[in-house]
Structure 1
Amino acid sequence: MADKPCCEPVAQNDCCDGATVLIYPCSGSSDVGEISDHVGRLLTREGVGKMHCLAGIGGRVPGITLSAQAAGKILAIDGCPQDCASKTLSVAGIQDFSRVRVTDLGMPKGKTPVTEENTKVVAEKGIEALRTSALRATA
């Protein structure tokens, strides 16, 4: 059986010209990692894109990797300067993605409450990053 993308394409709102958008938060164990996870879930609920499995990319799960390669746009949400989401995508050969880093938005690791307000600030930056990015060449 040939490997196939694990998910059907999802039509998206006006954020990204109808492109399939996949969102990869780091979902790390710190406060800023938790915020990244909340942002991924919020953007999914709002129809901006679909939160996808970063661990599947790191584990080279074929269907998950193929879905990422076929996506029109990708947003990596890194919690801190370790940049685990971005590095995981890059190491797997997935390029041309947008990214936002929570700590770059005045939210220091280990000192930032996980609040709806902080989640919305990061989500807005993620939407802005997606809006200003071109469609991926491999899409």
Structure 2
Amino acid sequence: MKNTKLPLVYSCSGCSSAAQTANMIAIRMDREKVAEMSCIAGVGGDVKPLVRTAKSGRDIIAIDGCPLSCCKSTLARHDVQPKYHFNLLDSDVPKIQGEDPDPKLFLDAYKQILELTIVK
């Protein structure tokens, strides 16, 4: 069941270690019920129910793995601005092709994002 009081979280999910770190953070936020993850690919693909969710007025957390900011740009195509936007490079998460996320960097970035968005 959806909790419309929770913020929405969208993440990059590309093939680099940073992209997968962003995706892991969003999944963990969803599983811990601090945010509801929604599908950025669906927003980019103009899937009507997913675009409606993005435009619902709920707070949005966008997590990108690198300065390309694909997640934020995808939302902007539908005139949606996230309340919070994170580029994991700013959290010292390197973008490395063909490598899995570093568990310590994941946890550090996750805690930083929680402190800035959820825990007030």
Q: Report the TM-score when normalising by structure 2.
A: 0.86
Q: Distance in 1 between matches of 2:84 and 2:71?
A: 11
Residue among 6, 10, 22 paired with 2:3: 10
The equivalent residue for 1:55 is 41
Structure 1 moving runs of 4+ over 3 Å: none
Aligned-pair identity (%): 27
The equivalent residue for 2:117 is 130
- Whether the 8 Å contact between 1:99 and 1:126 is mirrored in structure 2 is no
Is the aligned partner of 1:117 residue 2:104? yes
Q: Distance in 1 between matches of 2:52 and 2:119?
A: 24
- Whether the 8 Å contact between 2:11 and 2:40 is mirrored in structure 1 is yes
- Whether the 8 Å contact between 1:23 and 1:74 is mirrored in structure 2 is yes
The equivalent residue for 1:105 is 91
The equivalent residue for 1:16 is none
Is the aligned partner of 1:30 residue 2:16? yes
The equivalent residue for 2:53 is 67
Flag the 1:48–1:30 CA change in 2: closer, same or farther, 3 A.
Answer: same
The secondary structure found in structure 2 opposite 1:123 is helix
Flag the 1:132–1:72 CA change in 2: closer, same or farther, 3 A.
Answer: farther
Q: Distance in 2 between matches of 1:30 and 1:46?
A: 24
1:63-115 deviations in Å (ceiling 9; x for gaps): 11111111421110000010011111111211242111111111221187513
Bigger shift: residues 26-35 or 107-116? 107-116
- Whether the 8 Å contact between 1:73 and 1:130 is mirrored in structure 2 is no
Task: Let me know the Cα RMSD of the aligned residues.
Answer: 2.2
Flag the 1:71–1:122 CA change in 2: closer, same or farther, 3 A.
Answer: farther
The equivalent residue for 1:78 is 64
The equivalent residue for 2:27 is 41
Based on CA coordinates, which of the two structures has the bigger radius of gyration? Answer: 1
Shift of 1:38: 0.6
